[in-house]
Structure 1
Amino acid sequence: MTDQAVDTSGPARAPGTEEPSGVVPPELFGRQRELKALQEDIERAGLNTIAGRKAARARVLLIAGRAGSGRSALAAAFAHALTGTAPAGGSTGPLPWAAPGTGTGDYPDGVLRVSLTDPDGTRVPSERTAREILGLLSLATPPGADADELTEMVREALAVRRLLLLLDDAVDAEQVDPLLPDGPGCLVLATATGPLTGVPDVRPCTIGGLDTGSAVRLLARVVGQVRITVDPRSAETLVEECGGQPAALLLVAGWIAARPTASVADATQHLLRTPQDTEQPVGARPLVRAFRMAHDSLLETPARILRLLALAPGGLADAHTASALAGCSVLAARRTLDDFTGLGLLRTDGAAEPQYEVPGALAPLLRALLEERDRPAEIELARARMLERTVRLLHSCRAVAEPEDSPARGKLAGLPKTLRFAAPEEAAVWLRVRLPSLVAAARMAVADGELDTLARRLVAALVRALAAHLGTEAAAPELYGLHGLVLDVAERRELPRERAAALLNLADLDAGTGRTRTALARYRAALDAGREAKDLYATGRAMESVGGAYAELGDYPRASDWYGRALAQRLAQGDREGEARLYGRLGAVHAYAGRYGEALRNWRAAASGLRRIGDLPAQARALSEAARVQEYAGRPHDSLRTCREAVDLARRAEDVRLQAALQLRLADTLDRLGDPAAAALHRATADRLLGETESTYENLGASVEN
């Protein structure tokens, strides 16, 4: 039995046995000495206190240990002991979690946890970490903000809170130092492989393997006490062969739990027959051997699915991800993932539609095994299938938000049931939950360099889905990064049209957050790319936007010059709506510059163009602006006449709010002309119009409620 491969269509379990169904223990085993040392480290006097100075920054505690030693589990247990807040999924290293505002004691604002290392082993940039922390605090982040600005926002946010910040898997001090809160109200708990040289006043709590008693209790919790009691010597030998490492013990325990008739001695012999990887450091060998034992015990198809999970974006997978990677059904993929969880190879969040996480200690082993056992062409094909499935899900996610009679909803009905969402709310939840892995998929596809067509489709689908469910303003931080990915692909593939579009989108977001000079540089680069692509839309849009940037900077001569260039192109194209808009923009900048004659001519031209296209409300607004210019120019009687024209147009357009605004404009002009009685009549008319509008809205609201 011990040499038989495991078929993950369902590990065998004899009825009536005491074997538990999973390997995740609900408690921390051992580590009492380490917990006590961490508590004492909080209470000891810091260097500032000894020197008689007030603490300038938060206290930092460090848990140092090798991957698989249980450092994240110890950090979670310690956080729970301090705040009463525990991550979902037990203490063995859950999916990313946060529980702000639910703590007790010295840290009533709860616990935040972020990982500082990606599953592929690369360090997470400070910008992404800061955005994640601010997101967990429900604080908006400006799109395109750099790392310095975002980390400053983090420090300001934490300065007024009392919480525990858990920075998991730090690479070095440069990742930790910018995030340290100013003031002693918060506590920072970091985990790392070694010391964080550069962070002052930090003493690492170094951990190794569990003591034998705690390790045996961990095994008993997973495989059942009976199998430990009948052969305690073999249990101790097994612990020794695993080096007391919790990750290795859980893998071997999963192997035993999947075989109700296997003994601990069987597992020990099987582990001993698994070759050691002598190229690995001595301390890493027990985990590598336990992982190889678990993997090699699987049947061929589940073993291949497990290896392919190394391609899961952000280390997070769901049934669709596994299904696409392996080319199997979604149901079969979900069952296999659940079985991997039972074997200790994955962790899950336990939701109705769960996400599965590859433990950080196993991620590099999976990648190495994938490269060793699978051909590059097969890996590339699996990655392409996964990205294609993601694109289809995103199209479905966006389509379900469209009106019922739209073409997109019609196409949605033709998709397989597993790719459809029942309602917009379900799609929005899926998008929110899967967003980190979706963004990671986009980054992975762009970095790959071999799947640029798929990468462009994926980014475009994700942008549309975000806009449909969150709106462009709420999704701006994510959109900024996605447009940057499009720009990377466009520059690598020398695609000027795509480069122009990406630059325009990035510049719009820069302009919206006050980085006008950065936006100006990007608009001009977009103009060059649009000219290279012979894209009239991009060049016209870029010239108009360059003019807008100069106007925002107060450089009205340059603004009018660029608006004039854009206008010339619109006139050549016969774009009447664009012509009217640009005439209005020219009128505005000329008015700001005090060139009232030019301003008036342009506003009159805008009104004339809008009359030709039949937009009465816009024509009324253009005439209102012309009246304002006449008033600035010292021609109140002309202003009064023009404003009355605008009122008549607004009345014909049945735009009550615009009529009221123009009535108030008339009243102000009449006051300046020395006719307060007439001004009072116009103000009364404006009040009546506004009152009628509010009454209409109230009646409409009441009818909707009824």
Structure 2
Amino acid sequence: MTDQVVGGGHLAPGAARGAGAAARERRGALPRQDAATARAGLPGFAGRRHELKALRADIGRAGLDTLTGRRGARSRVLLIAGRPGSGRTTLAEALLREVADDYPDGVLRAVLTGRDGAPVGLARTARDLLAALGADAPAGADEDELAEAVRTALAGRRVALLLDDAPGAEHVEPLIPDAPDCLVVVVAQGPLTGIPDVRPCALGGLDTASAVEVLCHYAGPTRVTVDPRTAEAVAEESGGQPAALILAGAWLAARPKLSVADLRQALLAVPLPPDLPAGARPLHRAFHLTYGSLPQPAARILRFATLAPDGLVDAHTAAALGGCTMPAAAAVLHDFVALGLLRPVDGTDLAGAGPVDAGAAPRYRLPGCLAPLSRALLHDHERPADVQLARARMLERTVRLVRSCWAAAEPDGSPARRRAAELPRPLRFATRTAAAHWLRTRRGALLDAAAMAVADGQLDTLDRRLIAALTRALLAHQGPETAAADLYALHELVLRVAERRTVPRDRAAALLNLGDLDVRAGRTEQALGRYRGALEAARSVKDPVATGRALESLGDSYAELADWVRAADWYGRALELRLARGERSDAARLYSRIGGANGRAGRYEQALKDCRTAARTFRRLGDPAAQARAEEVAAGVHECAGQLDAALGSRLAALDLARAAADGELEADLQLRIAELLDRLGDPQAARLHRAAGERCRKEIPE
């Protein structure tokens, strides 16, 4: 979570004033901002000019390596340290805006603390950074491998990297690139002990003039000008903390009949816990003053906002958590922005326009400095059963949204499309592009929602539905290669649930899927362990489908390791199962695989016998393409045995079958392999003819 809403004098647009505010307050509604005013312009920046100048100077200052005559091998690291709410994130953003031109490859951002106040983990941060860089993250890679991938991707670039809300040096150091032309800006509460040559900038409170400027911007200049001394007193009692000043100013802006003195009196009247540190008192007072003025439905939404996956709140999430309608939730979130309680993601607040479909709802984030206060309210005011119910409502709506997203990628008239068309308008996507954009921008929140459901332990039906829907949506919109890393995380969650609930069938499926992804990532030894576990789970419940898949996967893995004897053995066990079930096509395919493995193992006679059995079965089944592939395997066995003429005969027979099957891709491959074989047999002219024919086939294959 980040406290960028309360940055170093972060000035948001002022609140609207008028008699309507008092009337709304009497009705118990939230004070409202004019929509045009709420969206007007970018926020300003008050104070911190000295710190900003010092940070810019530190970028170009010589480091320890340079002083010894060597150019630094790593990026310059700047630290902005301060308590949450001191404006540390806004100062970092102001610095990055000023130096953006010096880093033409862009600015990357990562928040290192999650919605629950715990570190998000190096693996999650590294994957997000790699996605922003357009680099692939290996599915199932460990933290060291992912961090190395980030450093490799940044090498040779000029990038500014903001690591916000860092819990400690151990979460930062692995991400520092070995690229002297990059800049790393870290926002943290304390020092980064253990990272050499860090340039720290410690933040305290704003000076009085800057603090009054923040208060004036939010509360309006008239009342501050009328009573400047009281305004200065409010600024001093707020400790110069921008977060407290913004909340206090927004509270006063919503009450045009009150004075700055009334604001000060109201702040001092807020009770303080006896053990609260002095530095935390200003923010506690300002937050509870604002919270105490909220109507009950809005106060409940604020409490439940800490449950939002990945800390992102939109109208869908707020409506589900608060148990209200989407328009009501959208209006509350819009007003929270005016009160300084939420910040629109990407600086855009479109709530006044109303969402036209599921992908148009704007997103908000609860500032990191306010999240602990809101979590404490949730703990104090909500029963565990009510929290559980709110979480279940949110996840149920998320399942429906993800299913609608998946349906948008399905053909018109498909059952999924028909079911999606029956959903309410706010749960539907206008186009496939809109659905893909929603999935991409909500990716982190959706994965966090799945992890939240699994961690809950009492929502095993919901979590399985969410994971299944999210898996389909990722495959439909991104494809198996792009989505591999996220699919790996989802299959690990399925495995966790299956082991917790002792469901062997689900455990076998999860292990098989994880094993497949491990093989693609080159972790064949790890995949073998997954497949053995899947085989054991499948056999325990007599699941022939999962058992057969596990047996074949074990054979494929040993073939990948070039252990051909074991590969043939596992294929043979799978063959016995297929024959017992009367699955002739699968049995023929396994005969072909066994023949290939035996050929590589030097068992040529047995290998050719297996290949002939496969080809004969495919012929009886009327599958010439599969028969051609069996003949190609036999050609490979002949090649291993040094029988090139026999290999040529089998390959030519396979070519005739591929033509009969009208399989252009297989025909092209066979033509090129025949050309290679003819070159080895000393017939270059015939080889050229087959090679030319193969290249023509390749060009004729539709893309």
Matched position secondary structure for 2:546: helix
Aligned residue number for residue 177 of structure 1: 173
Out of 580, 588, 610, the position equivalent to 1:580 is 588
Letter in 2 for 1:647: L
2:290 aligned partner, one-letter code: A
Q: What is the DSSP-based 3-state SS (H/G/I as helix, E as strand, rest coil) of the residue aligned with 1:473? A: helix
Answer whether contact 2:250 2:339 (CA < 8 A) is retained.
Answer: yes
- Say which of 49, 71, 76 aligns to 2:93: 76
| Aligned equivalent of 1:499 | 507
Given candidates 211, 214, 237, the residue that maps to 1:241 is: 237
Moved more, 312-321 or 271-280: 271-280
> Equivalent residue for 2:629?
621
Q: Tell me the amino acid that sits aligned with residue 209 of structure 2.
A: G
8 Å CA contact 1:167, 1:190 repeated in 2: yes
Look up the match of 1:451: 459
Q: Check if 1:62 corresponds to 2:62.
A: no
**40, 53, 56: which one pairs with 1:36?**
53
Alignment check: 8 A CA contact 2:589 2:614 kept: yes
In 2, Cα distance between the equivalents of 1:211 and 1:674? 88
Tell me the equivalent position of 2:529.
521
SS class of match (1:62): strand
Q: Report the Cα offset of residue 433 of structure 1.
A: 1.0
Which residue, 273, 278, 281 being the options, matches 1:282?
278
In structure 1, the partner of 2:477 is 469
- Are the equivalent residues in 1 in contact too, given 2:158–2:181 (CA < 8 A)? yes
Counterpart Cα distance in 2 of 1:61 and 1:563: 58
**1:309 paired to 2:308:** no
Structure 1 residues 546, 221: closer, same or farther in 2, change over 3 A?
A: same
| 1:658-704 deviation line (CA, Å, top 9, x unaligned) | 44544555566666667777x36xx546645754774685xxx9xxx
State the shift of 1:167 in Å.
1.1
Classify 1:79/1:455 alpha carbon distance in 2 versus 1 (closer, same or farther; 3 Å): same
2:65 to 48, 70, 93: 48
Alpha-carbon separation, structure 1, partners of 2:680 and 2:109:
63
Cα gap change, 1:569/1:322 in structure 2, threshold over 3 Å: closer, same or farther?
A: same
Q: 1:97: which partner in 2?
A: none
Deviation at 1:367, TM superposition (A): 0.7
Q: Give the counterpart letter for 1:529 in structure 2.
A: A
Residue 250 (structure 1) aligned with residue 246 (structure 2)? yes
What is the DSSP-based 3-state SS (H/G/I as helix, E as strand, rest coil) of the residue aligned with 2:44?
A: coil
Identity, in percent, stands at 56
Displacement of 1:48 in angstroms is 2.7
Matched residue SS, 2:480? coil
Query: Which shows bigger deviation, 639-648 or 616-625?
Result: 639-648
Q: Structure 1, residues 599-645: CA drift from partner, whole Å, max 9, x if none?
A: 21122222223223322112112112223323443445544543443
Moved more, 311-320 or 399-408: 399-408
> Are the structure 2 counterparts of residues 255 and 545 from structure 1 closer, same or farther at C-alpha, using a change threshold of 3 Å?
same
CA gap of 1:517–1:693, structure 2 versus 1, over 3 A, is closer
User: TM-score normalised to the size of structure 2?
Assistant: 0.90
Query: In structure 1, how many angstroms separate the alpha carbons of the residues matched to 2:48 and 2:26?
Result: 33
How far apart are 1:369 and its partner, in Å?
Answer: 0.3
CA contact (8 A) 2:239 2:282 kept: yes
Instruction: Give unpaired runs (5+ residues) of structure 2.
Output: 1-20, 351-359
- CA distance, structure 1, for counterparts of residue 676 and residue 141 of structure 2: 43
Letter of the aligned partner of 1:590 in structure 2? N
Would the aligned equivalents of 2:115 and 2:307 in 1 still touch at CA under 8 Å? no
Shift of 1:493: 1.4
Could you tell me how far 1:242 is from its partner in structure 2?
A: 1.7
Are the equivalent residues in 1 in contact too, given 2:24–2:31 (CA < 8 A)? no
SS in 2 for 1:470: helix
CA deviation map 1:399-444 (0-9, x unaligned): 1211112111121222222211122111111111111111111111
Map of 1:333 onto structure 2: 329
Residues of 2 paired with 1:687 and 1:203: CA distance?
64
Partner in structure 2 of residue 530 of structure 1: 538
Which of 118, 122, 125 is 2:118 aligned to? 122
State how far apart, in whole Å, the 2-side matches of 1:58 and 1:611 are: 64
* Unaligned 5+ runs, structure 1: 84-103, 702-706
Task: Spell out the pairing of 1:632-647 with structure 2 (5 A cutoff).
Answer: 632-647=640-655
Distance 1:687 1:307, change over 3 A: same
Change (3 A) 1:657 1:176: closer
Instruction: Find the aligned partners of 1:227 and 1:177 in 2 and give their Cα distance.
Output: 48
Matches within 5 A, 1:66-465: 66-83=83-100, 104-105=101-102, 107-349=103-345, 350=348, 353-465=361-473
Secondary structure of the equivalent of 1:397? helix
Asked if 2 retains the 8 angstrom alpha-carbon contact of 1:25 and 1:221, the reply is no
Query: Which stretch of structure 1 is more off in the superposition, 333-342 or 591-600?
Result: 591-600
Equivalent residue letter for 2:449? A
Q: Distance in 1 between matches of 2:28 and 2:606?
A: 78
Partner deviation per Cα, 1:462-497 (whole Å, 9 max, x = no partner): 111101110111100111111111111111111111
**Contact 1:398–1:469 (Cα < 8 Å) also in 2:** yes
CA distance in 2, matches of 1:13, 1:550: 66
Contact 1:2 1:262 in 2 (8 A): no
Shift of 1:20: 5.1
**Rounded Cα–Cα distance in structure 2 between residues aligned with 1:440 and 1:293:** 32
CA contact (8 A) 1:60 1:189 kept: yes
Provide the C-alpha distance between the structure 2 equivalents of 1:298 and 1:415, rounded to a whole number of angstroms: 32
SS at match of 1:124: coil
Larger deviation, residues 543-552 vs 158-167: 158-167
Query: Does the CA contact (< 8 Å) of 1:661 and 1:686 recur in 2?
Result: no
Indicate how the Cα distance of structure 1 residues 343 and 605 shifts in structure 2: closer, same or farther if over 3 A, else same: same
Determine if contact 2:80/2:202 at 8 Å carries over to the other structure.
yes
Distance 1:589 1:21, change over 3 A: same
Letter in 2 for 1:37: A
Provide Cα deviations, 1:302-323, integer angstroms capped at 9, x if missing partner: 1111111111011101111111
Deviations 1:339-372 (A, max 9, x none): 1111110011316531110111111111110110
In structure 1, the residue corresponding to 2:119 is in which secondary structure? coil
Distance change >3 Å, CA 78–CA 613, structure 1 → 2 = same
SS at match of 1:624: helix
CA distance in 2, matches of 1:667, 1:273: 90
Counterpart AA for 2:515 = A
How many residues align? The count is: 671
- 1:40 alignment partner AA: A
Query: In the aligned structure 2, how far is the partner of 1:354 from the partner of 1:64?
Result: 31
Single out whichever of 237-246 and 23-32 deviates more from structure 2. Answer: 23-32
What letter matches 2:128 in structure 1? E
Pairwise CA RMSD of aligned residues?
2.6
For structure 1, which segment, 437-446 or 197-206, has the greater mean C-alpha deviation from structure 2 after superposition? 197-206
Distance 2:694 2:56 in 1: 68
Normalised by the size of structure 1, how large is the TM-score? 0.90
The SS at the match of 1:627 is helix
- C-alpha separation between the residues in 1 aligned to 2:393 and 2:400? 11
**Contact 2:551 2:571 (8 Å CA) reproduced:** yes
**How far apart in 2 are the matches of 1:46 and 1:686?**
60
